[in-house]
Copies of this chain bind each other. A is one copy, B any other.
Amino acid sequence: MQIAAIVGGGNVLTGDDVSARSVDWLSAAGCRAGAIVRPASTDELAAVMRACHGAHQPVVTHGGLTGLVHGAEAEPSEVVISLERMTTIEDIDPIGNTLTVQAGAPLQKVQEAAEGAGRQFALDLGARGSCTIGGNIATNAGGIRVIRYGMMRQQVLGLEAVLADGTVVSSMNRMLKNNAGFDLKQLFIGSEGTLGIVTRAVLQLRPPTSDVQTALVACPSFEAVTGLLAHMGQALGGNLAAFEAMWQSHYRLLTEQSGRHTPPLATDAPFYVILESLGTDAESHAALFSKALEAALEQQLIEDAVVAHSASQRQGIWDIREDIEGLIQTLAPLFTFDVSLPIAEMERYVAKVEAAITHDWPDGRMVTFGHLGDGNLHLSVSVGSHADETRHAVEAHVYSPLAELGGSVSAEHGIGLEKRAYLSISRTPEEIALMHTLKQAMDPLGLLNRHKVLAPAAG
């Protein structure tokens, strides 16, 4: 077998070694691919892709398998390319603030290496221990600090990818500025492995922040929430790092209703916000944060607040926001959604979707939280069934109103297979046609993550 000669026989998995692998942490479904190939280097991967290209063999790329849109699913006729052996951190440049890494390295490994060099890597998300840098790039991961540092796209200075025909495109730029020709790396960021396989990257490191200030606040209205966002952005300047909103439904469910968390604030406010600021000089940063909160109280943007005075108090606040297990336990069967829309429209949108859900399912429930500062909401909907047709009915209620609002059916999770049918809600026919043009130009045989993101072209 040609591929075994490239990567070594032990790195071509078949049979039970394939099916024993879960490709979806939510469903725990096993991998159905014909084989799993584990190259050790860009050169090996390029040789594998040349062989696959010659044989018209479609492939599916696997990173940390923490995706949420079925982007890792493979059919028996497909071969999985796993980056699990390409995890080396190749270089750290503390002067240029860069870290060079193979794409299979877990996010947490990169974070720790940056910290070891007196710097930080800005992307952070719950799956940090499993998700890989390549997956973060391919899906343009978001997370909890986007309002300050941007998404994964903003952390990538340089990138190397292998194209469908095995060509290695190496754009390993290390500077903040480089306008020498088209910025090709952008093609591979967020295109979910459909245009190339990311093999290495140069990541931007940031100065460390030594002081964190966290508060949970209660807001009397949605207008107060948006006023608070503007106020804190101005008062904290470049330090504001998180602005996470919870509708009363979400806060109440995970505190008094589930009994999983003691509510730090009474549960009768319509909105709650977790504010977090990352600063340097501890004393002056704490004073700045207090002053900003006091001004917000005076302006009646908030009606109550609790500031974390220890790491455990901070964690206690975040635990409410991040308790996905609690959501599942109390609402299952449930459907979860990841949408974005203009912030000013959020209150009306949430009310509209909730009304549509409870109209069709009188016992249905919907709770809402999200990265409000980023325009990103996560909706959790429970209507008593997990059937596919029920899901589609709920999806229609969640996604349809986004069209006229200019919203997105995927803020940060991507399209994969799950949202492919809804892409046209967020993108015009001309945009989708241009996506097909790019796919056709870069992968004319349709070998890379086929049928993900884009439906097969008509005709």
Contacts and interface: CB of A to CB of B under 8 A. Distances in A.
A341 B411 contact: no
Contacts of A184: 431, 434-435
A234 to B, nearest CB: 4
Contacts of A375: 96, 174-177
A167 interface: yes
Contacts of A280: 234-237, 288
A150 interface: yes
Interface residues of A, number: 104
A97 B343 CA distance: 9
Contacts of A234: 207-208, 210, 280
Contacts of A423: 180-181
A454 B181 CA distance: 8
Interface stretch (A19-27, A30-38, A186-194, A306-314): A186-194
Interface in A200-227: 206-210, 226
Contacts of A154: 150, 154
A442 B453 contact: no
B235 A281 contact: yes
A196 to B, nearest CB: 9
Contacts of A190: 179, 182-183
Interface stretch (A259-267, A297-305, A350-358, A401-409): A401-409
A174 B406 contact: yes
A414 interface: yes
A279 B174 contact: no
Given A177-B412, A237-B239, A371-B177, A438 B182 contact: yes
A181 B435 contact: yes
Nearest to A140: B179
Nearest to A233: B207
Residue among A147, A175, A279, A428 having the largest count of chain B Cβ atoms under 10 Å: A175
Residue among A175, A178, A230, A419 having the largest count of chain B Cβ atoms under 10 Å: A178
A77 interface: no
Contact of A187 (B173, B186, B288, B373): B186
A187 to B, nearest CB: 7
Closest 8 CB pairs of A and B: A238-B238, A175-B375, A186-B186, A441-B441, A207-B233, A180-B426, A177-B411, A175-B340
Given A179-B408, A182-B191, 14 more contacts: A96-B343, A140-B179, A147-B176, A167-B434, A169-B430, A169-B431, A170-B430, A175-B341, A176-B374, A177-B411, A184-B435, A206-B233, A234-B280, A237-B238
21 contacts: A140-B183, A170-B431, A171-B431, A175-B408, A176-B340, A177-B374, A178-B408, A180-B415, A180-B427, A181-B423, A181-B453, A182-B435, A182-B438, A207-B237, A210-B234, A236-B280, A238-B238, A238-B278, A284-B287, A284-B288, A434-B442
